[in-house]
Amino acid sequence: MLEIDPHQRRALRASAHALNPVVIISQNGLSDSVLKEIDTCLSRHELIKIRVFSDEREIRDQYLQSICEKLEAAPVQHIGKLLVVWRPSPDDASTHAGLKSSMASRHGKAISRRNEPRRTKRSFQSGG
């Protein structure tokens, strides 16, 4: 299983926020065909969301662990019935360099927005 540090996890969670689930695990569970589809999606997108239709949190935790161990991926987030998984592309020589640079650029944008002057409504008084 791939390990990531908290800063990388935060950047990945932010990137995954706008994603839609690309794989659904239903009543048949985590079968070989579902694992193969997850592997294909990870190869293509690196960061994916998986929806699990199980009400048991322990089962969803087991699915996340199993996916990450079998596919050498990193667990990013488990929130409700959604699992977020990341695996760097195999052709990327520096696996974490791209993530760190994207995190830095994203962090820089967030800071610059925060430092901009706040827009306020101006109340105009009638001249009378």
Q: Rounded to whole angstroms, how far apart are CA atoms 30 and 61?
A: 12
Domain membership of residue 64 as a residue range: 6-105
Question: Residue 112 has what pLDDT?
Answer: 45
Question: Residue 95 has what pLDDT?
Answer: 46
* Average pLDDT over all residues of the chain: 83
Per the domain annotation, does 113 fall within a domain? no
Per the domain annotation, does 45 fall within a domain? yes
Per the domain annotation, does 115 fall within a domain? no
Per the domain annotation, does 128 fall within a domain? no
* Count of domains for the chain: 1
Mean pLDDT of 53-62: 96
Per the domain annotation, does 121 fall within a domain? no
The tens digit of pLDDT for each residue in 62-73 reads 999 999 999 999
Per the domain annotation, does 96 fall within a domain? yes
Q: What is the pTM of this model?
A: 0.71
The tens digit of pLDDT for each residue in 32-44 reads 999 999 999 999 9
CATH code of the domain covering residue 50: 3.30.110.60
Q: Rounded to whole angstroms, how far apart are CA atoms 9 and 2?
A: 12
Per the domain annotation, does 117 fall within a domain? no
Higher-confidence residue: 122 or 65? 65
